Amino acid sequence: MAGRLAYDLIKCTGCRVCELVCSMHHEGKFEPEKARVKVVRVGMPEIPVPVLQKNCDYCKGDPTCVKYCAYGVISYSEDNPKEQRGMDDAQACKIAEDWLKGVMESRTGVWKD
């Protein structure tokens, strides 16, 4: 079974380093708009939600975004449940709302789809 990505939203600062290293790895230059992961800011206050794009190939099993995330937001494991790809703003907003509700109820910020 192949690994999948999961995000710990309570740790995400929205720094977008994942976007920069992804674009450098795949495009050879810093072009976050071409990254395979996007950080979408939703709600008020703005909550950063990493969104995996449909063209992500997990860097052939060694995701660059995981290696360079200074806060340990992104994990890659076979144990991670299937993630959503290519979400629109409404879906990202729903995830942020669900995450906030989960934080209030369980005191954890880990989101796994």
**Could you tell me which of 77, 101, 110, 93 has the C-alpha nearest to residue 40?**
93
What count of other Cβ atoms lies within 10 Å of the Cβ of residue 88? 9
For 34-92, the pLDDT digits (tens) are 999 988 887 767 788 888 888 888 998 899 999 999 999 898 888 877 666 656 667 76
Mean pLDDT (whole number) for 13-30 = 94
Q: What is the pLDDT of residue 8?
A: 83
Is 90 part of any domain? yes
The reply to whether 66 falls in a domain is: yes
Q: Is residue 108 part of a domain?
A: no
Q: Please give the model's pTM, rounded to 2 decimal places.
A: 0.74
Q: How far is CA 23 from CA 17, 51, 64, in A?
A: 10, 14, 10
Does 76 fall in a domain? Answer: yes
Residue 76, phi then psi, degrees to nearest 5: -130, 120
Residue predicted with more confidence, 84 or 102 = 102
Segment 103-108 shows an average pLDDT of 60
Domain presence at residue 113:
no
CA 20 to chain centre: 13
Q: Which residues, at least 6 apart from 7, have a Cβ–Cβ distance to it below 8 Å?
A: 49, 50, 73, 74, 75, 111, 112
Structural domain for 42, as ranges:
4-103
How many domains does the chain contain in total?
1
What's the rounded mean pLDDT across residues 85-106? 67
Residue 36 in any domain: the answer is yes
